[in-house]
Amino acid sequence: MDYAERIKEFITALGADLVGVTDFEALKELQTIPDNLLDSFSRALSIGVSLPVSVFEMISDRPTPLYASVYQTANRLLDDIALKASKRLQQDGYPSLPVPASQIVDRENLLGAISHKAVARLAGIGWQGKNLLIINPRYGSRIRLVTVLTTAPLKTDDPVRNRCGGCTLCRDSCPAGAIKGISTEDHYSSRDEALHFQRCADKLTGEFANLPGVGYPICGICIKVCPYGRKLTPAAPD
C-alpha cells in the first residue's frame, strides 16, 4: 500500500466517506485568503462526509432545525478529521494545515479561505453541478467538505466528468429562483455564471438564518432534489 493509500485509510477510519488528492498545478489560479495560503504546500486533500438522505427528505420549502443540527455536527466532524489528518501528516514529516469546513473569512463578499468545492472537484470527489455544489455519483450533493493542505508528495486523483445532463430539478425547485440551470464541463468562471448569486445569499442570510431553531445561512432544497444518491439500494442480506 503506498503512502497516499495509507493516509486515505487513516482518514476514512476517522469517519470520512470520501478522500481525494490534487496538486497545486491544478489549483494555481484559485484565489485564497490570505493570497499566499498555498505557498508552503504542494498538495491538497479533499475530505467529504455524507449526510443522511432522511434529513433532506424532511425539508419542504425551508431548512429545518434538524438539518441545522446535522449541519453543525458534520462541520465539527470534518474539522476534527482535518485536524487529526494534519497532525498525522506532520508526525510523518510533512507540514500540513487544516482549512476549516465552514469559516467565512470575508463576511462582506461571503468568502472562505479557500474554495473546498474547487479542491474537491480537482481531487475527483465529484463534479460541479448546476446548483454550483459538488455532486458525488454515490451521495449527490449530500456531502460536506473540508481541505487539508500538505507538503506530502501524495499521488493525485483525476476529476470526474459532469453527469447532470438535461436535469433541471435543482433549478426548478430553488426557493430563491437563483439557479440558472447552466452546465459546465469543468467549473464556472464566477458564482454568477451558475446562480443569481445575490438571490441565494439574500434568501439564506436574510431569511432562513433567522428561522427559529435554524440560526445558520442554510437551505438544503437543491441538495434534497438531486437524484444522485436520493434512492438508497439496500445491502444484500448475508
Residue 43 C-beta-side C-alpha neighbours within 13 Å: 21
Candidates 18, 77, 145, 149: give the one binding ligand B12 (CB under 6 A).
Answer: 145
Residue pair 220/56 in contact by the 8 Å Cβ criterion: yes
Residue 3 or 201 having the CB closest to ligand B12: 201
Q: Does 141 bind ligand B12 (CB under 6 A)?
A: yes
Cα–Cα distance, 86 to 96 (Å, whole number): 5
Stretch that binds ligand B12, among 38-46, 84-92, 124-132, 227-235 (CB under 6 A): 124-132
Residue pair 77/49 in contact by the 8 Å Cβ criterion: yes
Tell the burial category of 233 from Cβ atoms under 10 Å away from its Cβ (0-12, 13-18, 19+).
exposed
Cα–Cα distance, 8 to 48 (Å, whole number): 12
Query: C-alpha grid cell for residue 163?
Result: 453527469
Of residues 62-121, those binding ligand B12 (CB under 6 A): 71, 101-102, 104, 110-112, 115-118, 121
Q: Does 59 bind ligand B12 (CB under 6 A)?
A: no
- Nearest approach, Cβ of residue 12 and ligand B12 (Å): 18
Give the residues lining the site for ligand B12 (CB under 6 A). 27, 29-30, 71, 101-102, 104, 110-112, 115-118, 121-122, 128, 131-134, 141, 143-146, 187-188, 190-191, 200-201, 204-205, 217-220, 222-223
